Structure 1
Amino acid sequence: MRALLVVNPAATTTSARTRDVLIHALASEMKLEAVTTEYRGHARDLARQAAEGDEIDLVVALGGDGTVNEVVNGLMDHGPDPERGPRLAVVPGGSTNVFARALGLPNDAVEATGALLDAIERGSERTVGLGMAKGTPGTADEAIPGRWFTFCAGLGFDAGVVGRVEQQRESGKRSTHALYVRQVVRQFLGEQRRHGSITLEQPGREPIEDLLLSIVCNTAPWSYLGNRPLYAAPRASFDTGLDVLGLTRLTTPAVTRYATQLLTSSPERGPQGKHAVSLHDLNEFTLHSKVPLPLQMDGDHLGLRTSVTFLGVGRALRVIV
């Protein structure tokens, strides 16, 4: 097997020594080329080149969810075609690693490498669905190119939190769960909770209006707080379309109630109530905002948008697991 290992040197939970050990372990079982990323978007470029050629059978992403997202977008550059092109494998190296954990992989890089080698030996793989977000035709955002996401996206409040975290990381702060919690509080205390309502439109259905928060899930859990899984949309799955959790109120009592429900959520029960909107297995919908709002995909802040169309694409990518 010929494999390309894409290594993010800034991965928060792996040291240079650990990465060397993992590279040697993988190289002992396959013909391996390891490349360290040097700039934002480099992982996508590397994966796209691998997909365009016929020399690579497997692309392994060693890093966090951002690295995985870039690799997936490179592999999917010409659209979904799981019967051709390299397969994907993931070795978690970030602070949260939602995609890898949703696949059932250990959250430790060394253990995950062992599991990956076992899966390769058994020929174990699955084909997963992905989400796609793109600018809505006929709007100011229509020229924005589409982008794939593996586990979640969001327009509004949660994307604002992601943007705040990225600002903190750029200033030298380490990515931790405590950092995320602090930015959630600051985002809530800011202006975002009082401005910019969102409308969700589905083909052939009545629009859902006045959403202040919209979380789009391609799988469950939505995220983790330490080792605690958080289920914004418990029924979301790689084998179905997209799920949405929307909230129409972000007052202090409402946020307290829904935050408590999220912290105590389970595969059977997520946030719910008269100000919560839960939608399951959607193939296509659009989120419109009256004012530009932040957009995030797989924990990556992508700037401000006023209209985004989401697609759930089934059986899009083969993954070794």
Structure 2
Amino acid sequence: MAFKRSVLLLALENMHVLLIANPESTTQTQELFRRVVPQLMKIDDVHLEARFTHYAGHAEEMLQGMTRDDFDVIIPAGGDGTVNEVINGLLGKAEGDLRNVEDLPAVAVLPTGSANVFARALGYPTDPYTAAEMLVDLVRKKHTRTITLGTWKGDEEDTRWFAVNAGFGIDADVIARVERARAQGFAASPLLYLQVSIRAWIKTQIKPPKITVEAVDTQGEELQREDIPLLLASNTNPWTFLGPLPVVTNPENSFDSGLGLFGLTDVRGFGGVAAMMHLIGLGRGRKLEKLIAKRTIEFDDVEKVTLMCTSGQRFQVDGEFEGKPTQVVLESIPDALRVFAPNTNPAPPTMSWSRHVRKHVRDFIRVRSFGI
């Protein structure tokens, strides 16, 4: 299956835009909408409508069956979970005859969630206000590109879409634990994720997951491994973020290729600690790379992967816990969605973590000082 990049200019005389927001969200401030909505309304021939979600899955329900005859642009205000709902609502079941991307509205993300991996991997800035400015500019220029999406199917379930990543094992355990913490009132901060990740890693020292992986890339090359304690499939690069800091597992991955797989063959002992550090972006020097080379799996441009385990392991999709299936099949679908985004994928980060932090703080101060 050949993958290609496609950049389009929407030739529209009248652009009908639907903004979807959660009125109960604490991350969607009135100030943010006061900056975005008037700017959108200033664009010539734009007709803006806002609709609010009231429960989990509502965005997916309201977009089912929608075409460009209804709206030209959908703007989900939220994080990766909201984007996932919008994609599954627009595209429907990811099996059989898929909907034609040219018949569907394009998606322009207004990132307001806690992670926003999808938007940031597309090239949107970390700060929500500067990201909003970019969104308005892209809509004004009617500039979109088509991207690859992933699909997943668990035990006797319908096939669904994902935009960011999916994973069996430790990362899914972390997601489940964070969801429990958030239900008790804790904020989903990088510190919380770090604490939960350490606890999940300690648990694997006693009884690590055992996952069988069977994958094939777009060139027909195969990968088969057994008893893997952790396996991630990513549709984005970086795979995720810790606050402002990007976490890169598959540097060659992008929205214009197949899925990137990253796995650990052993998480025990000092080598296991080093491998986990590598997973979250720390310690990429030559000595550490050599130490963990036999413990890591990197397989790029994957067309299809099957993950199996003898006992149900936790599974996550786009940062949402999806239960404990014994088998999951993931596939990559090229040119599946039109999005408003810069022309190309942002280059993999090359600066140090300390410079990333300084840059993030600088942008944060600049935006709030000058009202950008």
The alignment's TM-score, normalised by the length of structure 2, stands at 0.78
Partners of 1:109 and 1:206 in 2: CA distance: 39
CA contact (8 A) 1:157 1:193 kept: no
- 1:174 matched to 2:187? The reply is yes
Partners of 2:138 and 2:227 in 1: CA distance: 46
CA contact (8 A) 2:205 2:267 kept: no
Q: Considering only aligned residues, what root-mean-square deviation do their CA atoms show, in Å?
A: 2.1
Q: Give the secondary-structure state (helix, strand or coil) at the position aligned to 1:263.
A: coil
Q: Residues 160, 212 of structure 1: CA spacing in aligned structure 2 closer, same or farther, 3 A cutoff?
A: same
- Which protein has the bigger strand share? 1
- 1:258 matched to 2:309? The reply is no
Q: Match for residue 34 of structure 1?
A: 50
Partners of 2:152 and 2:16 in 1: CA distance: 31
- 1:112 matched to 2:131? The reply is yes
Partners of 1:21 and 1:34 in 2: CA distance: 15
Q: Match for residue 138 of structure 1?
A: none
The alignment's TM-score, normalised by the length of structure 1, stands at 0.90
The Cα offsets for residues 207-236 of structure 1, whole Å up to 9 and x where unpaired, read as 211100001011210111121110011111
Once the two structures are overlaid, the 10-residue window that deviates more, 272-281 or 159-168, is: 272-281
Partners of 1:234 and 1:217 in 2: CA distance: 11
Q: Give the secondary-structure state (helix, strand or coil) at the position aligned to 2:329.
A: strand
Q: Select 2:60's aligned residue among 20, 32, 44.
A: 44
Partners of 2:186 and 2:179 in 1: CA distance: 9
Q: Select 2:29's aligned residue among 9, 12, 15.
A: 15
Partners of 1:73 and 1:260 in 2: CA distance: 33
Q: Match for residue 232 of structure 2?
A: 215
In the TM superposition, what is the alpha-carbon distance from 1:119 to its structure 2 partner?
1.2
CA contact (8 A) 2:28 2:77 kept: no
The correspondence of residues 57-72 of structure 1 with structure 2, limited to 5 A, is 57-72=72-87
CA contact (8 A) 1:193 1:250 kept: no
Q: Give the secondary-structure state (helix, strand or coil) at the position aligned to 2:309.
A: strand
Partners of 1:24 and 1:122 in 2: CA distance: 16
In the TM superposition, what is the alpha-carbon distance from 1:254 to its structure 2 partner?
2.9
CA contact (8 A) 1:236 1:281 kept: yes
Q: In the comparison of the two structures, how many residue pairs are matched?
A: 311
- 1:155 matched to 2:168? The reply is yes
Q: Residues 50, 33 of structure 1: CA spacing in aligned structure 2 closer, same or farther, 3 A cutoff?
A: farther
Q: Give the secondary-structure state (helix, strand or coil) at the position aligned to 1:207.
A: strand
Once the two structures are overlaid, the 10-residue window that deviates more, 230-239 or 24-33, is: 24-33
Residue identity opposite 1:263 in structure 2: G
Which consecutive residues of structure 2, in runs of 5 or more, have no partner in the other structure?
Answer: 1-14, 342-372
CA contact (8 A) 1:93 1:109 kept: yes
Q: Residues 277, 193 of structure 1: CA spacing in aligned structure 2 closer, same or farther, 3 A cutoff?
A: farther
Which consecutive residues of structure 1, in runs of 5 or more, have no partner in the other structure?
Answer: 136-140
